[in-house]
Amino acid sequence: MREDKNIKFYYSEPLAICNLPVVLDRSGNIMYVTDKKSAVIKKLPRVTVASVYDPIANTMRFGVAVCSPEDTFVKQFGRDLAVSRALEAPKATIVGIRRGKVRETSKKHADAIINTYLSKYVPANF
């Protein structure tokens, strides 16, 4: 992959969900954890989003690469995969970006894509 100032990358943080037995008060606030040894920790996948801006066509395309929690996260592999997907089969395309709003638009949409992917793994009542 060639380096290009019109390509920006965004990554999800290494997150996990932990299920713990707890004691709640009447308001539903956690008073204390009853047994830390029985905690169940579930790692979430790592998401890499590539934002590719074409100043001539005034378009921005987004590609996504998802790394399974069981695999080792390799940033360069995720970048290469996300860029190739942005160019060949974009997850989203934005046309007509306002001048001076490229970086803001890129970050906003990349964050939304990451949140969409991670929301599949978070309980609905979270």
Which pLDDT tens digit goes with each residue over 27-54?
989 898 888 788 888 899 999 999 999 9
Asked whether residue 112 is domain-assigned, the answer is yes
pLDDT mean over 96-113: 90
Asked whether residue 102 is domain-assigned, the answer is yes
Domain count, the chain: 1
Please say whether the beta carbons of 90 and 109 come within 8 A: no
pTM of the model: 0.81
Asked whether residue 36 is domain-assigned, the answer is no
Nearest to 48 by CA among 16, 86, 17, 20: 86
Asked whether residue 95 is domain-assigned, the answer is yes
Asked whether residue 27 is domain-assigned, the answer is no
Higher pLDDT, 5 or 96: 96
- pLDDT for 60 equals 95
Distance of CA 126 to the CA centre of its chain: 17
Q: Domain range for residue 62?
A: 7-14+44-119
Asked whether residue 92 is domain-assigned, the answer is yes
